[in-house]
Amino acid sequence: MSKRKEDIFNFSAISDECVKCGKCIPVCTIHNVNADEVTSPRGFIDLLGAYQKGKLDLDKTAKDIFESCFLCTACVEVCPKSLPTDMIIEQVRSDIAHKFGIAWYKKAFFLLLRHRWLNDLAFKLGWVFQTCGFKIKADIDSMNSRFSIPMLKADRVLPSLRKKSFLNSHPETIENGGKRKVAIFIGCLGNYNYKDVGDGLLEILEHLEIDAFLAKKQKCCSAPAYFTGDFDTVDNNAKFNIEYFESFSKDVEAIIVPEATCSAMLKIDYEHYFHDQPEWKERAIAIKSKIFMATEWLQNHTHLEQLLASKKKDMKIVTYHDPCHAKKMQGIHAEPRNLISKNYNIVEMSDPNTCCGFGGITMQSEKYHFAQAAGVPKAAMIKKTAADIVSAECSACRMQINNAMGSESKIIFKNPIELIAEALRKK
Ligand code: SF4
Ligand code: SF4
């Protein structure tokens, strides 16, 4: 049974509810790479209960422990009580941010996320100078750092930057017949790095004769800030986006998002975040009926499946990874597979539902050793399929999987939207 929001942040009540059955332990991403009871779901819950009862100081050790959760929700999926470990960790990270502050480089990044013009400028400068510090691998939209600096090891595979962002490459409205219209929320990695995702989505909408509204004023969904406890940035961006979506929502059938994390943030986490702001909570709930993951909407609301069935079959083998924010949080897993399977051969990896180990900004910087360790089994199961392509509707997974696979891997990552657009180009 799902919990009422007011119960979710009562850490001590949640702690009392945990029956210590341990069902969450084998699936826990952090416990699998750091086998210690304190870094397990029931360990986190226990400590958070003690913290709320005043029996645990939020000291550096506690900070370190609470920052080691990947927020993957694997524990929630298997817990017989559906205890929301991820959400109470997100909540305590705000207390951590207040007490210890936020590292300067994260603050700088979150500042960019609050201002689109600043973001555009920073990424433009980044594009100009990226060749100084990185070897570019244009075929996979990635780059390797040439040297080690704090937080960034040499040879780490990161997403490269494009000269022009997706949102700045197209007009705000693209007419494809005028009978139907959707808005696109592209997300930051799709806008500045993996631009072919948005371009592919526009191609698909053209084939379906559906007009596209690019929603150019959109701000970052603020998921990176939420997972780091920077609730000021979440408040700012969430309110802006909700107001902005309301301004055009009556003119479009849906707001489609080719990104698992952004869509989960907009659709689910905004409501949780606003649990103590009733007016904004209502507005977040009202707008969410318009928000869909791209494959979800295309599968269930268009004739794309039939259109793809009329196109040539590609002999390439695809293996599909389930992003935590798609399958575990939104129940989306059949839709991308159904669409991809029309033109490609799908071979399942041994456990597509295992978290790839992205984990957010802290996990990708200070706790990178955990992200790296969590990526090892995922990369191994992908390689074992001998697929040509690994796919997931999530750019954070893409960044993590590309790095875990290593720069020598021949397996290319593509968002399902890119694969579908490629299939539609064939006669
Ligand atoms: S599965 Fe749920 S009830 Fe069981 S130990 Fe884990 S958090 Fe507690
Ligand atoms: S959200 Fe993931 S990493 Fe965190 S406690 Fe649950 S299973 Fe473990």
Say if CB 393 and CB 259 are below 8 A apart. yes
Cα 236 from Cα 206, distance rounded (Å): 34
Give the distance from CA 159 to its chain's centroid: 14
Give the per-residue pLDDT at 267. 97
In a domain, 63, yes or no: yes
Give the per-residue pLDDT at 164. 87
Tens digit of pLDDT for each residue in 132-179? 666 666 666 666 666 665 556 656 777 777 778 999 999 999 999 989
Domain boundaries, position 396: 310-425
Cα 74 from Cα 353, distance rounded (Å): 9
**What is the four-CA torsion angle of 225, 226, 228, 233, rounded to 10 degrees?**
40
Give the residue from 297, 81, 310 showing the smallest Cα distance to 205: 297
In a domain, 335, yes or no: yes
In the listed set 52, 75, 100, which residue is the last one of a domain according to the structure? 100
In the listed set 56, 74, 100, which residue is the last one of a domain according to the structure? 100
In a domain, 70, yes or no: yes
In a domain, 11, yes or no: yes
Q: In the numeric block, which tokens belong to residue 126?
A: 């980044």
Looking at residue 398, which CATH number applies to its domain?
3.40.50
Ligand nearest to the CA of 88: 2
Angle between helices 231-248 and 104-114 (to 10 degrees): 10
β-partners of residue 244 are none
In the reported structure, the alpha carbon of residue 46 is separated from the centroid of ligand 1 by a whole-number distance in angstroms of 10
| Cβ of 331 less than 6 Å from ligand 1 | no
Give the residue from 405, 414, 359 showing the smallest Cα distance to 382: 405
Give the residue from 189, 226, 256 showing the smallest Cα distance to 110: 226
Give the residue from 259, 377, 370, 376 showing the smallest Cα distance to 325: 259
Give the per-residue pLDDT at 324. 97
Give the per-residue pLDDT at 123. 75
| Distance between start and end Cα atoms, the chain | 48
Ligand 2 atom with minimal separation from the 86 CA: 1
In the listed set 100, 130, 157, which residue is the last one of a domain according to the structure? 100
Give the per-residue pLDDT at 2. 45
Give the per-residue pLDDT at 133. 65
In the reported structure, the alpha carbon of residue 45 is separated from the centroid of ligand 1 by a whole-number distance in angstroms of 9
Sheet (strand 389-391) strand order: 345-346, 317-320, 389-391, 412-414
In a domain, 318, yes or no: yes
Which is it for the CA torsion 328, 332, 336, 341, positive or negative?
A: positive
Cα 342 from Cα 229, distance rounded (Å): 42
Residues sharing a CB contact under 8 Å with residue 416, sequence separation 6 or more, in sequence order: 295, 320, 336, 339, 340, 391, 392, 393
Give the per-residue pLDDT at 333. 98
Q: What is the mean pLDDT of each run of 10 residues along the chain (427 residues)?
A: 56 91 97 96 95 92 97 96 94 94 90 82 70 66 64 67 88 95 96 95 98 96 96 97 98 98 97 95 97 98 97 94 97 98 97 96 92 97 97 97 90 97 92
Looking at residue 46, which CATH number applies to its domain?
1.10.1060.10
Cα 332 from Cα 109, distance rounded (Å): 30
Q: In the numeric block, which tokens belong to residue 380?
A: 């191994």
Ligand 1, atom 8: nearest CA belongs to which residue?
18
Give the residue from 329, 286, 300 showing the smallest Cα distance to 84: 329
Site to substitute for ligand 2 among 66, 72, 73, 356, most atoms within 8 A of C-beta: 72
In a domain, 178, yes or no: no
In the reported structure, the alpha carbon of residue 30 is separated from the centroid of ligand 1 by a whole-number distance in angstroms of 15
Cα 255 from Cα 266, distance rounded (Å): 10
Say if CB 289 and CB 355 are below 8 A apart. no
Query: What is the domain count for the chain?
Result: 2
Ligand 2 atom with minimal separation from the 31 CA: 8
Strands 157-159 and 173-174: unpaired
| Cβ of 83 less than 6 Å from ligand 1 | yes
Which residues does a 6 A CB cutoff place in the pocket of ligand 2? 27-30, 41, 44, 69-75, 85-86
Give the per-residue pLDDT at 3. 47
In a domain, 252, yes or no: no
Give the per-residue pLDDT at 124. 73
